[in-house]
A and B are shown apart, each in its own frame.
Chain A
Amino acid sequence: MSTIRPMRPDDLFKISSTNLDHLTETYHIGFYLEYLTKWPDLCRVIEGMDGRIEGYILGKLESSPYAPPVPPYSPDTNPDPNYLPWHGHITALTVAPSARRLGHASRLSEALEQQSDAANAWFVDLFVRASNEIAKELYRKMGYSVYRRVVDYYNDREDALDMRKPLSRDTDRKHVRENGEDIRVMPGDVW
């Protein structure tokens, strides 16, 4: 039994058990504070019955930093598949090892999707390492599909898979595609 609520700066004092997980990065404090102040609706924690933080999600809302090729943006008139319209992005999602397999990741993602939907975003996306089968499977189950493969994206030259889940604004699912894993783009194509 747990509670999902917005993440607050004070929660940063309580993320030790989640961040000691070796797959979870502990970022500079400025990184967290930027997310918490700019996108407070998209940063959530899941708290256990004892008040411990069992997981959290950090996300943001954004679009490509340049104007759409054909303004205003519409998936029907957009000629550039790499242009990113207004969307939610999952930057970090982590669950403490002791609270795994409880559906926390799904609940946190749903909370972010709900907020992105309310902000009229087209979809929610995220990047995952191509080799991370567990994460890929988790996101697939949550309704995400691969939109494109970003070749040599990570420092160790591993590919990233850009996965997306359309929101209610994308009624015709025009921001997702079937064969995303085969659509290869270079890191420079991705903002």
Chain B
Amino acid sequence: MALNWDKLAKLKRDYPNPKFALSETQRQLKKRKDDPYLLGWQSEVLLSLRTDGKRILDNLKSIISHQPPINDRQLLTYTYELLAEATRRYDPSVACLTSIGTEGLKTWQNAAKTLQSRKARLDLWSELFICAMKEDCWEDVRYALQQASQERPQAKKTISFALILANQLAAEKVEAASSSIPSMNVQIQKAFAYKMVKKAYENTLASSEDPLRIESMRDVRFMTQIFIRQQRAEELGGLMGTQVPEIQKIVAPSFVELTLLVLGSLQKENRWKELLEYATSPTCCRIWDATIQPDQLTTNEKLLLNSWEYWSRIMEAKKHGASESIAIEAVKHDLAEKLPKFEQALQEREYNLTRMALSSFVDHSYLLELCKSYWRRYSQRSSCFYDLLRFVQQLDLDQQQDFHTFIKESAEQLKSQSESDAELSMSNWVQVETNVVRFEYLLTIAVDGPNIDVTEAFISNAVRLYQVAVQLKDGSNHNVGVLVVMGLLNLHYQLVHSKAGNKNDYDRMRKTASILLQAGFLLLHLTAGDSGKQDRSLLLLSTQIHLYLGLGTIAFEQYRHARVKEILNDTLSYLLLSGISQIHPFNATGTKKFSADSELASVIKTIKRMESKANELIYTDIQYFQYDQAIELLEFQRKLKSSATKHFCLIERRRIARLRGDPIDASLTLDLKEYQNITDNRDFTILPYYGTSNDFRFSSLFNPRGFPRLYWIYARYALQEKTSRLLYNEKTYEELDKPMSDLAQQNKNNVQNEPIETELHAYWETIGELTEAIYAGSSNQTDIRSLFQDLQKHVTGIEDVVKELIWSETDHEPGNKSAMPYERGLRFLYGHLEVLQASFRLCDVAKDHLKKNNSTLKGKVDAKAIEAFQKSVKTAYSAIGECATSRIDALKKNGVASLLEQAKWGSTGEGLQEILEKDEQRVYAAEYVDAAVEALKGVTKVKLK
């Protein structure tokens, strides 16, 4: 008697290990060789073991030709998923899977024949509809819909619209995978989707009773998506503009939305002439008709005029649709004629911004005056700086200086006015001054080659304003405080990159350390108390800066208050977790409890849960399918599935596990599909930004390498992860090696490694080459020998460098270097420990290999040489431990005193003394020492083996 689904589920639970499960399937199949449940299970096990593709496909063929036909829906779905995966993996003739094929579908047809009621058959087709969608097999989705439509479903309209979608997406998938001209089938499917959706529109015009008709904005949005995907925006614009009551009743309340969609799509299609014609047509907006007066405009037209997107599309169309001089003349005309005439139709701020945008397009001769005028009107608003930023950046240097002088003078005048005018509050003046300081940052600090004296003066100025703002107790001091911090970060950057001095210029190192520490102290001050805990952007800045200081426990505490949850985990967690394995891999205990690994695991889990929530909305019963939402939900789900944040977190978890000596099992990997088309959802707009758009230093202000880019993931998978997989027999996918290696190669200039990573890259390359040579059984004698020699040199070099960093008694002299490790120091220590761990393991692997009779290493390297190398690895490892311990002792001995000295250093330190009480500084210094000791203790916990 064959198994059933429940018995299979129990067996799968009893045999979680694939190797044991395989033996069990073999044992049981001897007794029941045609059992489809057992065959399915064996296929699943073989797929997980990534072996024997032929047997998997044969097993699955046996299931689908099974007699009597299978009608267990769970088994059908299971078989569908296995067949899709096996075909993708083992059938070389399939470049792009849109269907599991006729034979696979036959099982479903046979199952349908065994069902007596229409409802049961409809349920069966719904099941196929869902599992085909999950496997991205849109041909089969289409097939399921066609079958379902023959079972007299109630939701005829839903099925008809879903069929349009399935055709469109099936065609798109094949088209995307093919580099040649679209096949006839693709063209037919697209034509079908277009004709059907057009018919739905025409049925509405004809007041037909056909369920295939446009009845609501949902249907219109669906129609819009199909038209836009088929690059038929111009036609869509015409159809939506039809003055037929049946259509206008639906589209009129969403006039602006539809108009902007059409304009946006025409822009994407580069159809500039059509864009301009549509944007200026009477159906769109009548201001272009000379006979129309402002009071004749409709509400919809006014709403459109107040939309930036409307104006920006028109400007783009004018720019691309004609020669530059004609475009400029056209915009000049708009500026001189159209805009003033319809000034009342626009809100005041919108009018002013549009005027500036148009002026900046024409030339900059009027822009300066417009910026000044805007400043006069809005300087008391926080948004004033951000509104003007893009325009001030376009002014030439003289104009920028003129503007700078103007705003400073206007703030001065306001100050004297505020003394006599009770209406003008102190908070208004502080806001104006804050905007002045922001522009000062833009125009004097965020420029090429900023001057240290100028930056210090900027900081002093900002500190003075802070002292006024703090009296207001309305939170405005935070905005000014951030400017002080940004000034300090800029100064820090300048000192770090200053050409003066040499590598061991301790004076410069102490200065840079002091500046960063002052920024950290100020951030702790700003984020203390209830109002500080409410400023979550500030807390995230503080998180990042405390990571820069190498103080993981404090960074985590700041991050915790920022309440990063749900979707923010995907977009913002990078601020705490980028490279955390190299800063704080071990759990912290005590009052500042923190586990980087738990936090990383939690982020991955949250992203997966969000994806599964999106799945629930997409993969519904065929009759409840939300066809109008499907495209956007699928895209959203795809971005979560392939989220780069998940990969960054996973890589950090794997690094932590290795440093801790924990096994890397299936829990530290993702599903293979999650590695496809990795998408970066991180939001980089959160940290304060007052610089120019091309300020290359921006992200380096917060972190020495900036934030790792997507390419870093490819490079990491292609080298370190691949090497570790081989060395430690870790769970990952071999089939990723080639695509990741190709992606890494294509983007090798964009990887943007952290400086220590760059230094260590050569070590990893050597370890990687040796590992591959051992596993691939290289026959090249000289290669292996010389590679081992290279590695030996590298490791000896590590020992020499680390010895230099061991803290000695003489280092305690005042004014000498700092015992704090900072991020760079921790990355140095943990990064080298990773290399030493891998080298040590490599030696073990090589020694084991040599013991084999047929070892390809014999004669290329001998056991003695490996032993000697392993010994030098141990020596370097001990030196790193000694270095960490010596610094822990130093910090405990006089860390607080040293940090308090640094807090006072220079003119910036003097400024800080005005803001922070001495006791407060002492508390922060003690916290810093504790956090630094905690971070360094982790270094001593790393085991070599």
Minimal beta-carbon separation of B684 from chain A (angstroms): 10
Q: Does B394 contact A (CB under 8 A)?
A: no
Q: A12-B636, A22-B536 are in contact. Are A28 and B383 (CB under 8 A)?
A: no
Q: Give the interface segment out of B346-354, B405-413, B464-472, B544-552.
A: B346-354
Q: Give the interface segment out of A1-9, A151-159, A172-180.
A: A1-9
A117 to B610, CA, bound (A): 33
- Between-chain CB contacts (< 8 Å), 5 pairs: A9-B636, A17-B685, A47-B308, A98-B382, A102-B381
> What's the A-B contact tally at a CB cutoff of 8 Å?
134
A103 to B565, CA, bound (A): 28
Q: Give the interface segment out of A34-42, A72-80, A127-135.
A: A34-42
Q: Interface digits, B562-587 against A, CB 8 Å rule (1 contact, 0 not)?
A: 11011110111000000000000000
A22 cross-chain contacts in B, Cβ below 8 A: 533-536
A34 to B308, CA, bound (A): 29
Which residues of chain B (383-433) have a CB below 8 Å from chain A? 383, 386-387, 390
Q: A4-B307, A52-B685 are in contact. Are A13 and B353 (CB under 8 A)?
A: no
A27 cross-chain contacts in B, Cβ below 8 A: 566
Q: Are A101 and B383 in contact (CB under 8 A)?
A: yes
Q: Are A49 and B639 in contact (CB under 8 A)?
A: no
How many residues belonging to A are interface residues under a CB distance threshold of 8 Å? Answer: 47
Q: Does B540 contact A (CB under 8 A)?
A: yes
Minimal beta-carbon separation of A137 from chain B (angstroms): 17
Instruction: Specify the main secondary structure of chain B where it touches its partner.
Output: helix
Q: A33-B617, A41-B254 are in contact. Are A49 and B217 (CB under 8 A)?
A: no
Q: Does B613 contact A (CB under 8 A)?
A: yes
Q: Which of A33, A50, A115 has a CB less than 8 Å from the CB of B614?
A: A33
A13 and chain B: residue at smallest CB distance: B681
Q: A9-B614, A10-B636 are in contact. Are A1 and B308 (CB under 8 A)?
A: yes
A19 cross-chain contacts in B, Cβ below 8 A: 568
A14 to B617, CA, bound (A): 21
Q: Does B920 contact A (CB under 8 A)?
A: no
Q: Which of B253, B307, B312, B566 has a CB less than 8 Å from the CB of A28?
A: B566
Name B residues whose Cβ lies closer than 8 Å to a Cβ of A: 217-218, 221, 252-254, 256-257, 260, 303, 307-312, 347, 349-350, 353-354, 357, 381-383, 386-387, 390, 533-537, 540, 562-563, 565-568, 570-572, 609-610, 613-614, 616-617, 626, 628-629, 632-633, 635-636, 639, 681, 683, 685-686
Q: Are A13 and B683 in contact (CB under 8 A)?
A: yes
A8 to B691, CA, bound (A): 30
Q: Are A10 and B632 in contact (CB under 8 A)?
A: yes
A37 to B870, CA, bound (A): 61
Q: A5-B257, A100-B382 are in contact. Are A15 and B567 (CB under 8 A)?
A: yes
A40 to B217, CA, bound (A): 9
Q: Are B307 and A3 in contact (CB under 8 A)?
A: yes
Q: Does A114 contact B (CB under 8 A)?
A: yes
Q: Which of B256, B354, B613 has a CB less than 8 Å from the CB of A1?
A: B354
A100 cross-chain contacts in B, Cβ below 8 A: 382-383
Q: Does A142 contact B (CB under 8 A)?
A: no
Q: A9-B635, A13-B683, A115-B253 are in contact. Are A20 and B260 (CB under 8 A)?
A: no
A2 and chain B: residue at smallest CB distance: B308
Q: Name 9 extra pairs, CB < 8 A, besides A29-B614, A36-B629, A52-B685.
A: A2-B308, A8-B632, A10-B632, A13-B567, A14-B571, A20-B540, A40-B217, A100-B383, A118-B252
**Those 5 A-B pairs whose CB atoms lie nearest each other, nearest first:** A118-B253, A9-B636, A1-B353, A22-B534, A1-B308
B349 cross-chain contacts in A, Cβ below 8 A: 1, 102-103
Q: Does A99 contact B (CB under 8 A)?
A: yes
A36 cross-chain contacts in B, Cβ below 8 A: 629
Minimal beta-carbon separation of B493 from chain A (angstroms): 24
Q: A2-B308, A13-B683 are in contact. Are A102 and B383 (CB under 8 A)?
A: yes
Q: Are A37 and B633 in contact (CB under 8 A)?
A: yes
Minimal beta-carbon separation of A6 from chain B (angstroms): 6
Q: A16-B683, A29-B614, A41-B254 are in contact. Are A9 and B633 (CB under 8 A)?
A: yes
